[in-house]
Structure 1
């Protein structure tokens, strides 16, 4: 092989690696990687706490755990992909979503639709080996996100945040229902925490991306009602989180104390937001805190119940 052929072979290998890398980037954007991972954690937490309350062994339910996690992840991935498929037009307007393959054309819209439907069906196939309850809550989350949020309310009504919050809040119920009936105070509070949390979290994002949502014509609260109303709403929703940890006393006094401190800190940030004139700085701080808040809270729920792992 001469030098020219060697250089050509090396160049071809580099192109293959680049194409593979670009495909992985496109798939990550299509599946909304960080969002997907963030939604899997509550499923695991719900599953784990159901084991804790039922005094069951993780090893006894390991097969159910595998089917639950894989199934729910695929269903949520399918919903996120279908959201990208439907929102390709407004994603092209917003700078934070312009790199999605549905906008760049790296993956055709027809292919994206097929991927979304396929992932959804595969997800429910895996969940078929769990319980009716897990399938039910997964369907509620999928249907609410794809139809009621993405296709109906997102572009028309400020209540789109409320609708979208339902789909995110059912995730711990999927995990819990795979083990035990969901008519227990713990899964109800897990749902409530996630539902309420998503409101100020999403409002903070909408404040930060105000110009983009306005340009895209998405009816987010800051766009329709302004920053002052949005900051008052954030304060109200954060205040609603205050009593919830006390309903989780079965997780121990340490958890209740830590959760209360987290809630009071966020409440303080929200009060500060009412008086500051730097709305963008406040929105960034509130968003950053909200992300860490929910991660710490749900991970801590698992840590304080670690003895169930036997």
Structure 2
């Protein structure tokens, strides 16, 4: 028996593995640079080399958007779990339990209230890590709740989608959330309150086909993928090669689908400026009494 190989080396390896944290370095999907996790965290999950915006969870996004990272999370109504008793490779109920256990949340949307650069606002943000941010009845109920709260408190509604689209495990119930969320948005607009959408990577499918593209103003994070179907599906359907950067935020801005493209660092400032302009209470204009005397309207004779 070789005691160095069989006894000493395993002990040293075990000791080293305990003291070395995992995932110290992250590979950027854009430029493939290796970035230390602490540097990436300090830079808001944006690559310092190429500016690629990596995905962040809903809680971090809300902390970034609200003043001093403070906000109150709104309690959302409960919805039936697995109403269709759906099963593919796994039971839908099991998938839900796994997603809830890993995220610590009921579903893929968080609704919060607070101030953005001093302006009170309601924000509904998707969490892509929860089943790809897919939209089911819980997400639909969350958005309706956010719209009602915005109307009740007479403040803007900001929605931050990050979704792969409708949740297939809920079938027609998921598709019904498209008109339902559209009506919820119209409730806000009928009260002449701002409805702003912050498009992030990715925003696709039934979310894009409903409330995500109904904003009064559309802001997009740099490089975000925004569309309905995937680029490969579109190319196979139309049998043509798509332009470079198709479905990216910058391409959509050039073609009128997005109003503003900004970086994650500048997003709170841009959003705060817009909310201030849209919600600022200006003093009424001075009332000028118009004369009804016809003679007064005649031009005075020269001299």
TM-score norm. by structure 1 comes to 0.28
Q: Relative contact order, CA 8 A, sep 6+: which one is greater?
A: 1
Q: Name the structure with the higher strand share.
A: 2
TM-score, length-scaled by structure 2: 0.28
More helix by share: 1
